[in-house]
Chain A
Amino acid sequence: MSLSPVAKGDAPARAKPGYALLDDPRVLGWGSIVVVLIAWEVTARLFNVSALYLPRPSQIVVALITLFGSGGLAYDLGVTLWRIFAGFAIALVSGTLLGLWIATSFRARAVADMFIAALYPLPKITLIPLLIIWLGTGGPFMLTISFLGAIFPIVINTVLGVSQCDPGLVLAARDLGATPQQIMRRVLLPSAIPSIFAGMRLGLGVSIILVVAAEMVVGKAGLGARLYLAGQILETEQVFAILIVLAMLGIIVTKIQDAVDAALGNWRVD
């Protein structure tokens, strides 16, 4: 989610030309990060802080380059992304279908309500020990943990979106000769899409958290595993470097979702 630029319009009204830059939210956003990094670098150098506790930004950048260059971090990033998105994709397809079914069938809804009420509030991270007993620590385990993170928000939001569909649209479709299947595919599903995207947003966030956490517990590869390992051997620069990769991943995912949200404008009538 991006913060909306406030009072962008009154920038030219300011008399002093030098301040115009400070009215651009992007300059403020990126600029403040640069200021903090410079302050960090300077302070760490001045007070000679041990890199063991707080490495300087320049050292972190070097660690980042080394990790990607010869440390094989790209491979770990790929492994983590694959785990997140494979589980998420399964959750997206099955969650949307399940949500459609629950929203349109009285019986399915009655049954699902109980299961969702029991399982949704359960912190999924507490399922890691049980899943390891059942599935081991390999691929199936990682897929399952990512799937579990995303499925609930997707199902719940699909049900919500379908139930909020304007009944007038369903009537109009019936009037134009739609069969129940056509109504589901051509009316209920598209009208639920903004809500399904909201669910994807929440679900993907949980999937990322769960996969990285699971990698920290059991993984041999992946960003979480590398992060945990680096911490164990007190490679603080590497810890920071991996955290930066995770933060960048978050920014990219959020920006893509923002773009998708903006493209969904056509779904709203007014």
Chain B
Amino acid sequence: MPAVAIEFDDIGLTFASASTPTTALEAVTCGFEPGKVTALIGPSGCGKSTLLQIARGFLEPTRGTLRFLERANGETTVRPAMSTVWQAFNLFPWLTVIDNVAFGLDLAGITKNERDTRARRAIAAVDLSGFEDRYPRQLSGGMRQRVGLARALVMEPEVLLLDEPFGALDAQTRLVLQEQLARLVETSGTTAILVTHSIEEAILLADTILVMTARPGRIAARIEVELPRPRSVATTRDPGFSALFDRIYELLRDEVMRAMVSGQGEAQ
């Protein structure tokens, strides 16, 4: 078994409710490798984001065990440092770009000078230099999400969590940002978990794709993406890309149909 950054062993989550308990996740077993990008893809409401929340520690699973990157002393229960990029950006509207990016550093009590240097470096990494003193409302959606990305990267997380990061953006902006993110993860060697609806996005960005079933969510398939890097929009014309796309689509179609029939897809 290769080293893992995060490992889910038989993880399940059932929401207790007076009338009918809802099982969101059922017996999920999977590992996320360090230095790799793993995409979670599945129909709406399959529990992709729930899985991310469990990894982050914001939700407690009702069964199963979580294991983390083995530390020098053999310890596997210490959660690695993680930062999330959110679908809704979740920027603080009353703070400027640089203050948004430096927010986490400020909370951690890092000095003003170091905060500034690190925030400016992160802002430069997402091509937003010159916009440090703008407010989020003065930026386009794509720029806002780049701030969101810089805010997560500046924390130097061991695992970067991407929760449908481009879900709220228009198609063109999405393409450009996907390419930018692909470049960032390729050069930095970050461990990342990407939750997405988009097969294309999963193939472009990920080393491994985990396809999930409709609720209750389980891992239906694990697919390694062997396409060469760097990947870009041109990659989508690679025959290997089409073959992967078709294979994942095949797997997803049945699950999406199931989700639609049971009405859970729309409920999310």
Contacts of B135 in A (CB 8 A): 266
For the complex, give the distance between the alpha carbons of A266 and B107 in Å.
22
Interface on chain A toward B: helix, strand, loop, or mixed SS? helix
For the complex, give the distance between the alpha carbons of A179 and B94 in Å.
20
B interface residues, tally (CB under 8 Å)? 21
CB pair A169–B90 under 8 Å, yes or no, is yes
CB pair A266–B94 under 8 Å, yes or no, is yes
CB pair A177–B107 under 8 Å, yes or no, is yes
CB pair B90–A268 under 8 Å, yes or no, is no
A182 and B136 contact, Cβ closer than 8 Å, known pairs A169-B90, A172-B84, A172-B90: no
For the complex, give the distance between the alpha carbons of A144 and B136 in Å.
42
CB pair B90–A266 under 8 Å, yes or no, is no
CB pair A175–B56 under 8 Å, yes or no, is yes
Q: State how many angstroms separate the Cβ of A103 from the closest Cβ of chain B.
A: 18
CB pair B86–A168 under 8 Å, yes or no, is yes
Of the residues B84, B91, B137, contact of A175 by C-beta under 8 Å: B84
**A261: interface (CB < 8 Å):** no
Q: State how many angstroms separate the Cβ of B258 from the closest Cβ of chain A.
A: 29
Contacts of B93 in A (CB 8 A): 266-269
Closest 6 CB pairs of A and B: A176-B104, A172-B90, A168-B90, A269-B93, A175-B84, A267-B94
Of the residues A172, A187, A267, contact of B86 by C-beta under 8 Å: A172
A interface residues, tally (CB under 8 Å)? 23
CB pair A190–B56 under 8 Å, yes or no, is no
Residue of B nearest to A178 (CB): B107
Q: Which A residues between 213 and 270 are near B, CB-CB below 8 angstroms?
A: 266-270
Q: State how many angstroms separate the Cβ of B146 from the closest Cβ of chain A.
A: 15
Provide 21 A-B residue pairs closer than 8 Å at the C-beta atoms, listed in order of the A residue. A168-B88, A169-B90, A171-B58, A171-B86, A172-B86, A172-B90, A172-B91, A172-B92, A175-B56, A175-B83, A179-B107, A186-B103, A186-B107, A187-B92, A190-B92, A190-B94, A266-B94, A266-B137, A267-B93, A267-B94, A268-B93
Seen from chain A, the residues whose Cβ lies within 8 Å of a Cβ on chain B are 166, 168-169, 171-179, 182, 186-187, 190-191, 193, 266-270
Residue of A nearest to B138 (CB): A266
Contacts of A179 in B (CB 8 A): 107
Contacts of A267 in B (CB 8 A): 93-94
Q: Which B residues between 41 and 75 are near A, CB-CB below 8 angstroms?
A: 56, 58
Residue of B nearest to A269 (CB): B93
Q: State how many angstroms separate the Cβ of B115 from the closest Cβ of chain A.
A: 13
Contacts of A187 in B (CB 8 A): 92
Of the residues A168, A171, A182, A191, contact of B107 by C-beta under 8 Å: A182
Contacts of A176 in B (CB 8 A): 83, 103-104, 107, 151, 155
CB pair A191–B94 under 8 Å, yes or no, is yes
* Chain B CB within 10 A, most for which of A171, A173, A179: A171
Q: State how many angstroms separate the Cβ of B223 from the closest Cβ of chain A.
A: 28
CB pair B84–A269 under 8 Å, yes or no, is no
Chain B 94-119 against A: per-residue CB contact (8 Å), 1 yes, 0 no?
10000000011001100000000000
Residue of A nearest to B108 (CB): A177
For the complex, give the distance between the alpha carbons of A125 and B93 in Å.
40
Contacts of B90 in A (CB 8 A): 166, 168-169, 171-172
Q: State how many angstroms separate the Cβ of A186 from the closest Cβ of chain B.
A: 7
For the complex, give the distance between the alpha carbons of A174 and B108 in Å.
12
Contacts of B91 in A (CB 8 A): 172, 269
Residue of A nearest to B82 (CB): A175
Residue of B nearest to A193 (CB): B94
Q: State how many angstroms separate the Cβ of A254 from the closest Cβ of chain B.
A: 24
Supplied contacts A169-B90, A191-B94, 7 more A-B pairs, CB within 8 Å: A175-B84, A176-B83, A176-B155, A178-B107, A186-B107, A266-B94, A268-B93
For the complex, give the distance between the alpha carbons of A259 and B107 in Å.
31
